Structure 1
Amino acid sequence: MLPNYFNTKPLADYMRHDLNIPADREAGSLSAGRVGRIAALAAASSAAYAATGHLLALLALLPAPAPAEEGDEDRRTFWTDLRRASGASALLPANLRIGVVAALDGHGAGLATRLLGAFGGMSTDQRVATALLVGEHLTNGDDFPGPASTTGELWLRDVELTAWQIIHHHRRPPTRQAREQFREAWNRL
């Protein structure tokens, strides 16, 4: 699952702060060296894009939510059971919708924050129940081997780690001065 790629704010920030290139500058006016540096910055910022795509792929493993007027009781039941097992109303499709739609457009930090908050608020019993529910869904076919509880726990951990990576990549980039202080501190050891 790949989100649309138009969330260029982190790359534009790096270009402006590190390369002194405004985001609206014409490419034809850039030297090959500057184009190369922009390419390196774009490659470095691709981790946030990849993590957002991975988070969406993990959510796509769950049943697609069904509107109340549609008759697919199994899909609605899964999400109701997930809310009950987790104790987190944040995991209801109506509460995830805005974050999922934003992530599909390349802005995954809101969804990541919501999921980390929901998982972080679970008790041990709620986490076990949630892992079992998700694991039962994932192991229902032949796609995922192993016990449902293990598969579900791995899914939960993967969502948490991926969400943390998205939040990490979307934080404000360090300033040039902060990077120089970091470099100096490590070089002085």
Structure 2
Amino acid sequence: MGPASETSQLDVERVAGIAVVSAARSGGYAAIGGTTLARQILSAVDEMTPPQRLAAGEVIGQALIESDHLPDLKTQVIGELWIRDLELTVWHVLHADRR
């Protein structure tokens, strides 16, 4: 594995880690003024290249299939839907802060 592959893998793992943490805590972000974290999450997702987003979706989808027992769904589809949900959640946090 070359340096580019290692960097890409670390980026995917970082994004997947951020995604898991943010999902676990998303309900409390608006309540505690988590706009800084929401901006960081949205920025990290926005900076992903299409291959990084696909790879993150695969990693996240695989974890969800294993934990939620959804073997009949494709990991990439589940992961992409989860990333979209993450984006929407942080958008709601940012939008709620503007009110």
Q: Scaled by the length of structure 1, what TM-score is found?
A: 0.38
Partner of 1:152: 79
The unaligned stretches of length 5 or more in structure 2 are 1-7
Partner of 1:165: 92
Are 1:112 and 1:167, in contact at CA under 8 Å, matched by a contact in 2?
Answer: yes
The unaligned stretches of length 5 or more in structure 1 are 1-80, 174-189
Asked if 1:84 is matched to 2:3, the reply is no
Q: Scaled by the length of structure 2, what TM-score is found?
A: 0.67
Bigger Rg, structure 1 or 2: 1
Asked if 1:124 is matched to 2:50, the reply is yes
After the TM superposition, list the runs of 4 or more consecutive aligned residues in structure 1 that deviate by more than 6 angstroms: none
State the identity %: 29
Are 2:30 and 2:93, in contact at CA under 8 Å, matched by a contact in 1?
Answer: no
1-side partners of 2:12 and 2:18: how far apart? 10
Per-residue displacement from partner, 1:33-70 (whole Å, max 9, x unpaired)?
A: xxxxxxxxxxxxxxxxxxxxxxxxxxxxxxxxxxxxxx
When residues 130 and 168 of structure 1 are mapped into structure 2, their CA distance, relative to the original with a 3 A threshold, is same
Number of residues of Structure 1 aligned to a counterpart in Structure 2? 86
Q: Which has the higher contact order (CA 8 A, sep 6+)?
A: 2
When residues 83 and 91 of structure 1 are mapped into structure 2, their CA distance, relative to the original with a 3 A threshold, is farther
Give the counterpart letter for 1:157 in structure 2. Answer: R
Partner of 1:139: 65
Partner of 2:5: none
Structure with greater helix share of residues = 2
Shift of 1:104: 8.9
Of 94, 99, 107, 2:33 maps to 107
2-side partners of 1:92 and 1:162: how far apart? 11
Shift of 1:109: 1.5
